[in-house]
Structure 1
Amino acid sequence: MTTSASRKTRQKDAVWQALRAQDDFVSAQDLYTVLNDSGSHIGLATVYRQLSALHLSGNLDCIEHGGVRLYRICAAQRRHHHHLVCESCGRTVEITPPDGGWLDSVAQAYGFTVSSHTLEVYGLCGDCQAAPVEQ
């Protein structure tokens, strides 16, 4: 974990350790529940602040699913990547980004310069496509 200008705190360490124990993306509310159930009594606002700081520092990925922000330490941490996200079950797959030249050429065609970007592609995974539709 890199925390350049931030100081080490008990709350930050607890949030980081709880995130490390997660296999998938998790909401701030779910992480708050995990922390409190394990005896780390940290306020929900503190969990949100720590997640935001960790995301801004580049240590976490953040996606939107069902109108909720979800966070995860990705296997590809510190390497630029994107995600496929299932709109039904939330399954997330890390994918390699397209050639960077493509994005620069599109931006240039519209008079933009690119300072950063994120890309999440939403749809249905194979399992959810094959599942029978509930009536």
Structure 2
Amino acid sequence: MTMPRTPQRIALAQALEQTPQFRSAQQLHAHLLQEGHEVSLATVYRHLNALAEAGALETRNLSGGETRYRQCRSSGTHHHLVCRDCGETTDVADTSVEQWVQRVGDRHHFTDIRYALELSGLCAGCQHAPTG
């Protein structure tokens, strides 16, 4: 299904291009409203889900059930290192994980193995941020 290029969809695509961080539908909706775009939260969800299903967006599912979205900044296989405090996300390309997955699959006679790997920690800014 091809979705029309409406002003709302164009504005959402621009908002996604402007941030390297994963953002929730609510955050993106608030940003669009602040920028003067008339768009409903339901429209934002619908477009985000369509873009994610088409492979145009990466998604993260947080422990509370919220999904966050962003455009991928790297091509090819990569993983994410995510700050637990601020959400800063760094793409990490390392073939050793893929090699290990392939060896495990071969050893157990599996093919077409899919997996998700996300590392979390504290970014340099949050390590030095005052607590309070």
Normalising by structure 1, what TM-score? Answer: 0.76
User: Secondary structure, in 3 states, of the residue corresponding to 1:122?
Assistant: strand
Question: 70, 90, 93: which is aligned to 1:93?
Answer: 90
Per the alignment, residue 41 of structure 1 pairs with: 38
Amino acid at match of 1:70: R
Runs of 5+ consecutive residues of structure 1 not aligned to the other structure: none
Taking only the aligned residue pairs, the percentage that are identical comes to: 38
- Bigger drift between 30-39 and 56-65 goes to 56-65
Per the alignment, residue 102 of structure 1 pairs with: 100
Q: Distance in 2 between matches of 1:43 and 1:112?
A: 44
Q: Distance in 2 between matches of 1:51 and 1:75?
A: 17
Per the alignment, residue 9 of structure 1 pairs with: 5
Q: Distance in 1 between matches of 2:23 and 2:61?
A: 11
How many residue pairs get aligned? The number is 129
Cα deviation, residue 60, structure 1: 1.4
Per the alignment, residue 21 of structure 2 pairs with: 24
Amino acid at match of 2:99: G
Cα deviation, residue 13, structure 1: 1.9
Question: 118, 121, 131: which is aligned to 2:119?
Answer: 121
Runs of 5+ consecutive residues of structure 2 not aligned to the other structure: none
Q: Any conservation in 1 of the 2:105–2:113 contact (CA below 8 Å)?
A: no
Normalising by structure 2, what TM-score? Answer: 0.78
